[in-house]
Structure 1
Amino acid sequence: MPAGQANTTWFPELKDILKEKWNSKMSIEQHFDLVKELNNTLNQIRTDLNIQPPMMWCPKCQKRERSRFTEVSITAMYYALKRFELCKDDYLKKLLRDWKKHSKTENIDIYGKPKEKEEKMNDIHD
């Protein structure tokens, strides 16, 4: 595996999906459908290439352990649209504003999951 590939999220296949399927007239629900497809493809790429999550030092148990893979979030997808020149800066700002309103109304996080009480993000020992 090439150096740094364990941390790669935007493989060429994901860029192609985004370029092929993105449409500015999509609803936020459709954005999440696209995010889901991107994550499914990303997970398949990681499986096919036998990519393991990066190692981390756990201050709790004082051991090196595998961390978790990151997923594509809705905001990551929006920033990728700008990065891959599929939208202009003004449109990115509009997407982020609309997302912020929608997330508050629906009480969901950037992965489309219901927000609950603050959970410990990296507590892998529970």
Structure 2
Amino acid sequence: MAAGDASRTWFSEMVETLRREWKPDMLWEEIIALRDRLDAMLQQIRLSRGIRPPTMWCPVCNERTQQAEPTVSVRAVIFALGRFGIVPQVEFKSVEKRWAKYRKENGLDRNGRPACQGTGGQHDGQEDEAVGEGITRDASERRPR
């Protein structure tokens, strides 16, 4: 495994697929389908190359643990369009704003699927939620790093 691969989401073959398949007039359903293909490609690359997720120090259990496997969200696809110069910056910002509006209007999660509704520990698919919010630990309970 090459250095940095554990944290990598965008591999060169994925970027080439995005360049080849991206069309400015794509419907959201087509963009979501492209996201599905890119996410499947990411999972296959990681599996075939034996790439495991990076490890982290968990502030809750004070143990070293593996992070979650990276995934490709619709917003990650949109950001990749700008990052890799597939679309001009102006178009990137426009697509990002349209996705936020479309996602909100249709109640979609980060992957373009209907967001979970209700209670019982379910989430609404919001990105960037704080993990472990509201959990406090006494300093005496922590193990030294």
Q: Structure 1 residues 122 and 57 mapped into 2: Cα distance closer, same or farther (>3 Å)?
A: same
Q: Counterpart in 2 of 1:17?
A: 17
Please tell me the root mean square deviation across aligned C-alpha atoms, in Å: 1.8
Distance 2:77 2:101 in 1: 17
Q: Residue 53 of structure 1 aligns with which residue?
A: 53
Computing the radius of gyration from Cα coordinates, the structure with the larger value is: 2
Q: Which residue of 2 aligns with 1:73?
A: 73
| Structure 2 match to 1:84 | 84
What is the TM-score when the length of structure 2 is the normalising length?
0.78
* Distance in 2, Cα, partners of 1:70 & 1:81: 18
Counting helix residues as a fraction of each chain, which structure ranks higher?
1
1:109 shift after superposition: 2.2
1:121, distance to aligned residue in structure 2 (A): 6.3
| 1:25 Cα deviation after fit | 1.0
Cα distance in 1 between the residues matched to 2:61 and 2:83: 38
| TM-score for both structures, normalised by structure 1 | 0.88
Q: Gaps (5+ residues) in structure 1?
A: none
Identity within the alignment, %:
33
Higher RCO (Cα < 8 Å, 6 or more apart) = 1
Partner of residue 40, structure 1: 40
Structure 1 window deviating more from structure 2 (112-121 vs 40-49): it is: 112-121
